[in-house]
Amino acid sequence: MPEQDLITLEKDGQLIHCEEGSLGHEQALAKGYEQVDSPDPVAESPNNAAPSDEQNETDNGAGSEVLSLEEAVMHCMEPGNEDCLTNTGKPNLDKLKELTGEIVTAAQRDEVFKALQE
């Protein structure tokens, strides 16, 4: 599968990365995120520290780099990624762990999921 070009969006110092024109992009814009110029799709911010070299080498099962929780939730909400969702329509915690490289609690997932729904 070809690698997609990601755009960087920012709100209150928090950066997220998504494919332009995607559902996640539209939802982020609706939440008040604004596009920023960033030559590196894994830009540093106070809330999105750059991953260490060891984290950069982590394979999330899809052969791509580790995503932030916000990016992982948006990925799961993309059309065609229904296998990432539970029967209640929320991102699966095991899939989020696979995408982020970290254990994600239901409360963390629900907070991000709710914010993206508003």
CA–CA dist 82, 89 (Å, integer): 8
Closest CA to 60 of 20, 116, 104: 104
Q: Is pLDDT above 90 for 9? A: no
In a domain, 48, yes or no: no
In a domain, 14, yes or no: yes
CA–CA dist 44, 42 (Å, integer): 7
pLDDT digits (tens, 9 = 90+) for 14-66: 777 777 777 777 777 888 888 887 544 444 444 444 444 444 444 444 455 78
Closest CA to 30 of 69, 68, 67, 74: 74
**Contact status, residue 92 vs residue 85, Cβ threshold 8 Å:** yes
CA–CA dist 36, 53 (Å, integer): 25
CA–CA dist 87, 67 (Å, integer): 23
End-to-end CA distance of the chain: 31
Predicted TM-score (pTM) of the model is: 0.50
What are the tokens at 30? 């609706």
In a domain, 78, yes or no: yes
What confidence score (pLDDT) does residue 50 get? 44
What are the tokens at 97? 């762990």
pLDDT digits (tens, 9 = 90+) for 55-109: 444 444 445 578 899 999 999 989 898 888 999 999 999 999 999 889 999 999 9
Range of the domain at 10: 6-38+59-117
In a domain, 53, yes or no: no
What confidence score (pLDDT) does residue 81 get? 87
Domains in the chain: how many in total?
1
